[in-house]
Structure 1
Amino acid sequence: MEKRNLEVEKAIAYFSSKESHGMQFEVDGRDTQAPWVTVGVITVKRHVKQEKYNGFKPKYVIEVAARLNQALEKFPAHQGDVHIHICNMERNSTNNDEAMYLARYMHMIERHTNVKVEGDSNAEGEVPVDQFESEQRDYAFCLGEMAKFGAKYTIILQDDAVVHDNFFTNLKGILETKVERRTTRGEVVNGNTDNLAQIKLYFPEKWQGYEWNVVSCLELLSIGSFGGSLLLFFYGLFRGKIFNNRKQFRVAFCLSSLFCILLASAIGRQNLLVLQEKCGMYHIRPASHCCIPAVLYTRKGIDQITEYIKSPELKCSKDEPLDVAIGKYVDRIGMQQIAVVPNMVDHIGIFSTLHSAPKNPKSFFPK
């Protein structure tokens, strides 16, 4: 929590410096020209109920907003192609202090405007719902509002999803080289984005390790083959001799490959992905139904998904939360959902809007 408070202080200092120079660096309203990417940050006021955390106020959204704008500043040639908005979902919008603070610098969209909550109905006369249904309605509202801008891509971030440095620069490279176009056998071909619904930009670190499945086995075999070949190359280079026969070479290659596989397993896939990110080596793979802290939607996908999660037939619950419901729907309509690896955002929220108890920080990391 001390680290989070420090990061929030840095974020506030960042916005204060903008204020002191009178800089307004976000659009206020809708431009006539559709942007390349519209970003919507969904936020509600987070409540800390445990006594031992008294005095701590989660201000994740301020940190998220600051990092978004810092990433946008590193994307100077295309700043006008990116619109960032805060979706304030608090039932009494003025109670969300962090969102109201950000409204001084960024365009904010409110679902409930200055409503005094009384009785058993909410601001729209709806019957009170549990947190899962509330999340569904908030997500549907923000998604629908972002769709109105007509952007080629729409990103929905939860208010505890902090983007990495050079987020927009890396995202543009990924979309242009791995989604819209890709290289196959030395030729550049157009990707089929008409059937693409969503791209997930985050997957929990604790589930990113090696498993007994086809993808992990192929990845380990690739590491073993490449690493084993590299070790034999350097062995021959420094020793100045090669193996006397094929049998010795095969045994040495198998042992070298096995060593590299065991080394990769000991280091952990999560740590290797961090190195991969530092080198800018992103790749695309099929996405699971989990999770939605950061998701990019295509123009075609956003319309269908918004209509679905707004429909009365969908009732999210603990047994079928929103991310699973969306994933199943995309599969059902035959559209594609993919994920970027490594992650492009960090999920920092210890205090969840769905659960009263704070998360154990250890749950964010592999066991």
Structure 2
Amino acid sequence: MRPTMMLRLGYIQRGHIGTLTAVFSLQFLVLLPLLCYTMPFSFYFKLTTRRTDASKQAVLLNRERVKRARSYFENLSTDNSRHYTSLLEKGNQVFLAVAVLTVNRPRSGDGNRTMGYLVQSATALDKFAKSREFMGKTFVFICNVDVKPLSHKDAGDLKRYLPFTERYGSSDFHPGDFHVPNNKTVTYGQLFHEDVYEKETYDYMYCMRVAQSLRPRYILMVEDDAVAHPDLAPVLHYTLGNHFGSNTDMIQQNKSFAYLKLYYPQRWQGFAFEMIRLLELCSISCIGGGCFVFVMYVLTFVVKGRLMGNKLYGRYFLMGMLFLMLTAMAVGRQNVLELRRVSKYLYQFRPSPGCCTQAMLYPTHMVRPLVSHLAAAPPGTHTDLIIYNFTRTTGTPAFQLEPNLFYHVGMYTSLKIGNKRPDEFLFHL
């Protein structure tokens, strides 16, 4: 009986080799190429898309977003700013103050036309402030830190709709001078910087101090090239209520943290040789293994009335693991993360890396020690590294949400000239 059983098992195994070959070929040579060739960060996108073509597409998408954003404000009453100032006039406690840091970014070769980053960011945040979760408790303002504020046309146009402050100009409100540990008084409006990174740090400090003057529970610092995802309101409301024990009903928070990062460059969010991401890939693979075993069980026992041996189940489990592992790697972790947007409960909450500062949420009580730390840092140090050093020095935990709750639209940076990699700018809102 044993030789007969071995032959039968061997027949079943050999019979499925052709099926497995067909499944793998269909997946990786037909289906994934068709689905992923336009999907940034996937293997097939990198294989089929030239960087110049991707850059042109990113510029076109940016123009479409700018057109829609400007149309949003054109159809908005100029009395819209009263929505924010009424919070202060009525004496309401501001739960969340949102500062949009901005400088003029003229298009390369054309000093009059801009890339329209600020208007995109302001539109998304205005919608966020009017969401069901944050309506009536969120104060959004433009923080113009350009040395020549009148040259920043986009910021000037938005004065009719949003409160504003200018570090080197007029303001609806502004912070007073303050002292740092070296007994130096910081007077923002009179301070000029030879080093661009030092100016960036002091700009950040200024806008943070303005937000602090509103006495909110939390401060959201957003750079003008970061655009909020539509999921920002429900996910942030859930995160504050469940991870930090604080929600928009003003319940006192009971978990101390330095900041919550809401954006991290997608180019660094792929699969890598890090323990957390390797475990994540292994977990995804196990799902594939389980699915393969289930399918083989249905095909052999339920349909044909046969039963495979345990060794064959193990082999099919390994084949399933390999199948889904290769699929996930071909699609790219960045795109796999998008599946978590199905529900606010599926967003991943994890310790924060050092880079970057496009969108950061701070508890207000962290502003004073953080600003002092920023002011004491040596010139030339990047702001994000100083902030990360603050968490290491004080031992205060910092966190990150994945997938990102902000998109990055700034192909042109305010610190250096030139295009960035276009992959992370190819998205639709």
Task: Give 1:17 deviation, angstroms.
Answer: 1.1
Give the TM-score, by structure 1 length. 0.85
- Kindly provide the CA deviation profile for residues 2-57 of structure 1, in whole angstroms up to 9, marking residues without a partner as x: 3322222211111111127x544531283533222111000111133x44x67742
Q: Which residue in the other structure is 2:296 paired with?
A: 235
Superposed counterparts of 1:300-339, under 5 Å: 300-309=365-374, 311=375, 313-317=376-380, 320-339=381-400
SS at match of 1:26: helix
8 Å contact from structure 1 (residues 202, 344) kept in 2: yes
Code of the residue aligned with 1:307 in structure 2: it is S
Whether the 8 Å contact between 2:106 and 2:113 is mirrored in structure 1 is: no
Residue 150 of structure 1 corresponds to which residue in structure 2? 215
- TM-score normalised over the length of structure 2: 0.73
Q: In the alignment, which residue of structure 2 is the partner of 1:92? A: 148
Instruction: Report the equivalent of 2:199.
Output: 134
Query: Which has the larger Rg?
Result: 2
2:312 paired residue number: 248
Deviation at 1:166, TM superposition (A): 3.3
Matched, 1:166 2:225: no
1:155 partner SS = strand
Corresponding residue of 1:344: 405
Instruction: Tell me the residue number matched to 1:187.
Output: none
Give the whole-Å Cα distance in 1 for the aligned partners of 2:60 and 2:111.
13
1:218-270 residue CA offsets vs partner (Å, 9 max, x unmatched): 10111112221133224334551674332222222122122211211111101
Alignment of 1:61-76 (within 5 A): 61-73=118-130, 75-76=131-132
Tell me which residue corresponds to 1:184. none
Alignment gaps of 5+ in structure 1: 116-121, 182-189
Indicate how the Cα distance of structure 1 residues 342 and 314 shifts in structure 2: closer, same or farther if over 3 A, else same: same
Q: CA deviation at 1:288?
A: 0.8
Is contact 1:198–1:338 with CA below 8 Å preserved after alignment? yes
Structure number having the greater helix percentage: 2
CA contact (8 A) 2:84 2:138 kept: no
CA distance in 1, matches of 2:188, 2:253: 44
- Alpha carbons of structure 1 residues 80 and 220: separation in structure 2 relative to 1, 3 Å: same
Aligned pairs for 1:1-367 (under 5 A) are 1-19=59-77, 23-24=80-81, 26-28=83-85, 30=88, 32-48=91-107, 50-51=108-109, 56-73=113-130, 75-76=131-132, 78-113=134-169, 124-180=189-245, 193-194=255-256, 196-237=257-298, 239=300, 240=302, 243-280=307-344, 281-309=346-374, 311=375, 313-317=376-380, 320-362=381-423
Give the counterpart letter for 1:93 in structure 2: P
Question: Which structure 2 residue ranges, 5 or more long, are not aligned?
Answer: 1-58, 172-186, 247-251
Shift in alpha-carbon separation, 1:351–1:26, aligned structure 2, 3 A: farther
Residue in structure 2 matched with residue 185 of structure 1 by the alignment? none
Q: How far 1:175 moved relative to its partner?
A: 2.0
Cα deviation for residue 111 of structure 1 reads: 1.2
Q: Please give the alpha-carbon distance, in whole angstroms, between the structure 1 residues aligned to 2:139 and 2:192.
A: 34
